[in-house]
């Protein structure tokens, strides 16, 4: 028996389908039994639950033979380290294998950890099946593409990159392995929102993005018909009324976008996705109308900067005028644009922050419904690339436990990276601007602030916004704290960010 572990990454009210371990399990031969332990479920203690499963199966015909953990950078890594250490301490004879983005980006610290026996880089479905064959003595470990491990002398073997498959070549999602209803939450999209991923990778070359390190400049997209089939089943069988797509780039081109619209329109679902402004800018009005009719409610675009020069250095492949065009197109078609910006350009952090804040004001004038997402620039390893003269791996920890410290968690989540070119004063300027903007124009995601607090904050922020005065908005902070139903939740993801949860919606 195989136990797949999805370590805790967020609060239980923000949990979503554990898609990564679901899909690896689905690829296993039918004779292999497997179960999922999801640390994000309410009251779940991963180490205790895994221990109970191991004890229950011990001495039987199908004992637990392997623990497989998916690990993303940030809060999930913190949980994964603690869980893996506890499980290995109790059951040192059972091998533990890690997969997921953290190990694909930073293999060395994972391989340095005595409580992790194997690491799979990149796409894991095929590699995991071959790992089981290797553990059964049927193949050499060095013949498994994507497999990494410690040699006898302590050196690291990094397996060759696997030629990966697209979603259409993979099995159906095994929803029967999870309590689907426990993962459908109320959000601004609907009462029973779920998540889905219809593609793998991204074909673009943004120099700050870790997706390229895992997949390179490639993307494989599932057919819209197959995606609609899966979503339709979730809607019929479990009442899912809305969906957040995890794809890094949902639209390849206008032809595929129209196929998506035609396939989704009968479903009656509202949905959120991530897309490129240059691709969206090529869509005709008819395509925009079709997407709106098919349920597209909000589209997230990586705008990143208000400077064409900085966008060029990032290899973003877009311009500020293209971003402004999408602000206008979404306004015209009643779709909410969500623009993300990366603050802290190493070459001129102060000048770039001032420039980008001014550009955001322009976008808000074009489309008042625009939503703002802010990040601080954090170097990410990328196939030998650097940004701003920074080697992304310089100074990163060699021990896995060191990655779980608060400063490195903040670095991985882009919340408060400790980088030499971005001091607290500059970070405060961005945070103060964001507070004034979101007080003047409350986010559709934000169900945590009571209505009276939003009304007072809108009134207080009006003059500041008109004057361009964002410095130290103490009164706005006080109003927000007083009106909060619950603290701001930085562990909420995507459409769950600052959104309603079951308790708050009641």
Rounded (10°) angle between helices 424-440 and 451-467: 120
Instruction: Name the fold adopted by 2-158.
Output: Rossmann fold (3.40.50)
What is the structure's pLDDT at 448?
84
C-alpha span between 102 and 74 (Å, rounded): 9
Q: What is the pLDDT along the chain (506 residues), one digit of tens a residue?
A: 999 999 999 888 889 999 999 999 999 999 999 999 999 999 999 999 999 999 999 999 999 999 999 999 989 999 999 999 999 999 999 999 999 999 998 999 999 999 999 999 988 999 999 999 999 999 999 999 999 999 999 999 999 988 888 889 999 999 999 999 999 999 999 999 999 999 886 665 555 555 555 555 566 888 999 999 999 999 999 999 999 999 888 999 999 999 999 999 999 999 999 999 999 999 999 999 999 999 999 999 999 999 999 999 888 899 999 999 999 999 999 999 999 999 988 889 999 999 999 999 999 999 999 999 998 887 665 444 443 444 445 568 889 999 999 888 887 887 777 778 888 999 999 999 999 999 999 999 888 899 999 999 999 999 999 999 999 999 999 999 999 886 655 544 444 444 333 222 22
pLDDT of residue 213: 56
Return the domain boundaries, the chain: 2-158, 184-422, 423-506
Q: What angle do CA 447, 453, 454 make, to 5 degrees?
A: 65
Nearest to 266 by CA among 292, 245, 294, 226: 294
CB 272 within 8 A of CB 245: yes
Select 184-422's CATH number: 3.30.1330.10, 3.40.50.2300, 3.90.320.10, 3.20.20.70. Answer: 3.20.20.70
At 349, list the tokens. 């952090």
Confidence at residue 380, expressed as pLDDT on a 0 to 100 scale? 64
At 131, which helix (H) or strand (E)? helix 125-135
Is the distance from CB of 10 to CB of 40 less than 8 angstroms? yes
Cα dist from 489 to 14, 324, 447, 482, 494, whole Å: 9, 29, 11, 16, 12
Give the position of tokens 């802290």: 344
Nearest C-alpha neighbor of 191 from the set 155, 243, 123, 128? 243
CA distance 49 to 487: 29
pLDDT of residue 108: 94
Report d(CA 392, CA 208) in Å as an integer.
9
Residues 6 or more apart whose Cβ sits within 8 Å of residue 406: none
The H or E element spanning position 105 is helix 101-105
Encode 469-484 in three state secondary structure: CCCCCHHHHHHHHHHE
Question: Which pLDDT belongs to residue 377?
Answer: 83
């Amino acid at each position: 028996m195989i136990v797949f572990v999805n370590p805790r990454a967020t609060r239980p009210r923000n949990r979503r389908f554990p898609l990564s371990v679901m899909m690896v399990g689905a690829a296993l031969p039918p004779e292999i039994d497997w179960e999922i332990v999801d640390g994000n479920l309410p009251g779940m203690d991963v180490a205790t639950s895994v221990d109970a499963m191991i004890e229950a199966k011990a001495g039987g015909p199908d004992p637990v033979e392997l623990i497989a953990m998916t690990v993303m950078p940030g809060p999930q890594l913190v949980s994964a380290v603690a869980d893996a250490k506890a499980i290995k301490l109790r059951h040192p004879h059972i091998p533990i294998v890690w997969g997921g983005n953290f190990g694909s980006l930073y293999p060395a610290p994972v391989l340095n950890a005595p409580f992790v026996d194997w690491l799979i880089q990149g796409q894991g479905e095929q590699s995991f099946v071959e790992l089981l064959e290797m553990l059964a003595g049927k193949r050499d470990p060095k013949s498994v593409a994507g497999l990494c491990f410690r040699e006898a002398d302590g050196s690291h073997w990094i397996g060759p990159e696997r030629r990966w498959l697209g979603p259409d070549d993979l099995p159906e999602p095994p929803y029967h392995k999870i309590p689907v209803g426990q993962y459908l939450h109320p959000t601004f999209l609907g009462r029973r929102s779920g998540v889905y991923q219809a593609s793998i990778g991204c074909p673009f070359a943004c120099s700050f993005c870790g997706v390229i390190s895992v997949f390179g400049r490639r993307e494989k997209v599932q057919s819209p018909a197959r995606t609609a089939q899966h979503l339709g089943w979730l809607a019929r069988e479990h009442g899912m009324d809305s969906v957040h797509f995890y794809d890094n780039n949902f639209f390849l081109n206008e032809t595929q976008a129209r196929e998506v619209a035609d396939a989704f329109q009968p479903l009656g679902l509202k949905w959120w996705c991530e897309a490129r402004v240059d691709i969206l800018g090529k869509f005709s009005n008819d395509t925009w109308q079709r997407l709106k009719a098919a349920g597209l409610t909000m589209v997230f675009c990586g705008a990143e900067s208000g400077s064409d020069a900085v966008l060029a250095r990032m290899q973003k492949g877009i311009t500020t005028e293209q971003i402004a065009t999408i602000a206008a197109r979404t306004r015209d078609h009643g779709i909410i644009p969500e623009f993300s910006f990366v603050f802290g350009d190493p070459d001129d952090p102060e000048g770039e922050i001032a420039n980008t804040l001014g550009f955001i004001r322009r976008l808000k004038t074009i489309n008042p419904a625009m939503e703002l997402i802010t990040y601080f620039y954090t170097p990410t390893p990328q196939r030998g690339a650097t940004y701003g003269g920074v080697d992304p791996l310089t100074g990163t920890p060699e021990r896995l436990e060191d990655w779980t410290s608060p400063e490195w968690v903040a670095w991985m989540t882009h919340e408060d990276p400790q980088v030499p070119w971005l001091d607290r004063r500059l970070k405060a300027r961005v945070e103060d601007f964001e507070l004034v903007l979101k007080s003047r124009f409350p986010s559709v995601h934000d169900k945590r602030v009571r209505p009276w607090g939003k009304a007072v904050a809108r009134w207080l922020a009006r003059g500041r916004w008109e004057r361009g005065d964002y410095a130290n908005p103490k009164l706005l902070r006080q109003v927000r704290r007083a009106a909060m139903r619950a603290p701001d939740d930085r562990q909420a993801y995507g459409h769950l960010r600052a959104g309603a949860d079951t308790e708050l919606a009641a």
